[in-house]
Structures are given as C-alpha cells and as structure tokens.
Amino acid sequence: MSAETTKTLLAGFDAVLADLDGVVYAGPNAIPGAIEALTGLAGANVKLGYVTNNASRTPAHVAAHLRELGAPAEEGQVVSSAQAGAALLAERFPAGSKVLVVGSAALVREIELVGMTSVDSAKATPDVVIQGFEPSLGWEDLAEAAFAIHGGAAWIATNTDLTIPREQGIAPGNGTLVAAVRAAVDRDPLVAGKPQAPLFHTAARRLGADRPLVVGDRLDTDILGGNNAGMATALVLTGVDSVESALKAKSAERPRFIIDTLKDFYQPYPEVAHDDGRVTCGAAAAAVADGVVTVAGERDDLNAWRAACAVWWAAVPESDTVTDPQLVWKKPE
C-alpha cells in the first residue's frame, strides 16, 4: 500500500486501466459516481483504457454503451478478452482453421478478423473450441463444445470469471459455464483474458502509458492480472470482492490500494505507516499476534480495513492459498 499523504491517488500514474462490470456499470446502469470520476481523468492529464473479460460484445458496442452512460470512450480504448482469445488463436493455429464458437456474435467477429473459419457444430470437426460469455447460451451449446473437445478439438476460454455483476445482483459468469464443460471433458482450457498479463500490456501500449493504474472489483482477475503485468492495482468495492476477501487474499491477488468508489481517484490516499509490528492508517490502527489481527477502529471505516490488511499481509507475505485470520475489534485509541 501507498505511504502518500498529500497527493491524490492518481499522482504518479499516467493512465487508468479500468474493468467494466462492477467498476463502471452493473448491468445496463452506471455505478453511482463512476462516470464523473472517469470524465475527470482528462483534466488530471491521465489517459483512460477499459480492460474487460466480458466477451459478449464488440469493443465498438462497449464504447457506444459507455458513451450512452456519459463516459468518455472510443473503440480503441476498449480491450476485451474476445480480442485476446482471437489473438491466442492466431498465435497457435493457421489461418482458415475451423473454430466452434461457444459465445456471442462479437466473439465470432473477432475470430474471423484473425482469419479463422467459424463453424456451429461439432459435426463440422472443428480444430478448436473457443468459449466466451453470452447470456443466451444453453445446454445444447455446452454439449456441442464437449462433443468437439472429446473429438480432439483444442479448447480456449476467453476468461474464467465465475460470476458477473448485474443490476439485480451477482450472476454466473463465463467461468461457471466453462466449469460445466470442464466437468464433461475432464481437462482445462487455455485461458486468454484476465488474469493473464498480455491484455493489460496491450491496453497500456495502445495508450502509450508507462505508469498505468489497474482498477477492478475482482481479486482473482483484475488485481491478479494487474499484478502479473507488473502494474499498480486498486480494488474498488463496488462489485464482487470486499474488504473481507481482500484481507484473506492470496499474496498474488493483493491490491496496492483499496478504494470505496472511483471518486476516490481525486482524494489523497491515506498514509499506511508500519512501526514495529503496528500499522496505522488515519485514526485506525492494527496489530497481529498468533494469527489474530486486532483492529482499533470502526468496522465501517475503510482505513481500519486498510490497516488490518497491511499488518496481516506483512505478517504473511507469501501465501498461495486464501488465509483466514481472526479479527478482533476494539474502540479506536
């Protein structure tokens, strides 16, 4: 976490690479405050790119939706897992290869743009299956994927997000549908999108950014992917993951920053200070002993959670599994 106290969160960054679902919008509607925060980036001399694992729409459609919501967006600012999946196809298979697309028309378009031939049935003996999110997918689509893979086709997933934020709440994502096919074929797909690093590197190159900040709501895709790409990461608490899941996160999935909303871009990020096993953040403090994190602060104060995360992560710097510290709360000193 940062020790900056007087500069805004954006200080030192030349671009924001923002996830979409759970960060900018949930379903068709914008998350409160997100559009204003994104619009203000130009005035702060910070470039903006969108990096999404949702492969159900083309970048042009995504950009059009963002503009309808009032956000600044051009097609070239959007990098999707559908594009990453198509690029992976082009790397591994010759032009003209037959591809069974289990996904959207947008995904079909992306694979055709890289010279592949789309087929719609396992009976066409595809060379590869590519699977991406599409809300209308049903059992027959997943069965065709399984038939083709059993028949010898390679398998690529655009992404493996188990859930996706919607206006009504959290819904099954592409990873849930991928898991259904995995159960039938007993093998794993190649994964093209987040948390793989190339998606973030592509977005940064398009913007000409040297110091991007990756902002997302998921630890296992956005934050892990940004960390894998060697970029600074910020978890925003408007989507899937929470301060509780951040505290327990594997080392590779821990964010550099934790923010309530995108409006926090324009606020100073509070100092997180370490002093002989004790961490302070704002008026809150935290210490750890024998697997117990004691927090002096209020549960609804984000600074208390920032302190708790910092002290626990320092105590357990390397963990490839989710941790489970005991939390003890007491009144602020």
- Is the Cα dihedral 276, 281, 285, 290 positive or negative? negative
- Distance from C-alpha of 54 to C-alpha of 209, rounded to nearest angstrom: 23
Catalytic residue (choose from 19, 220, 222, 241): 19
Distance between first and last Cα of the chain: 23
Cα separations in angstroms, 92 against 85, 132, 146, 201: 11, 18, 21, 20
Is 275 in the active site? no
What is the DSSP secondary structure assignment for residue 308, as one 8-state letter? H
Is 260 in the active site? no
Taking Cα atoms as reference points, which of 233, 302, 282, 281 lies closest to residue 23?
233
Q: Strand locations in 232-331, DSSP E?
A: 232-236, 257-259, 272-275, 278-281, 284-289, 292-296, 326-330
Catalytic residue (choose from 14, 21, 210, 275): 21
The residues carrying an active-site annotation are 19, 21
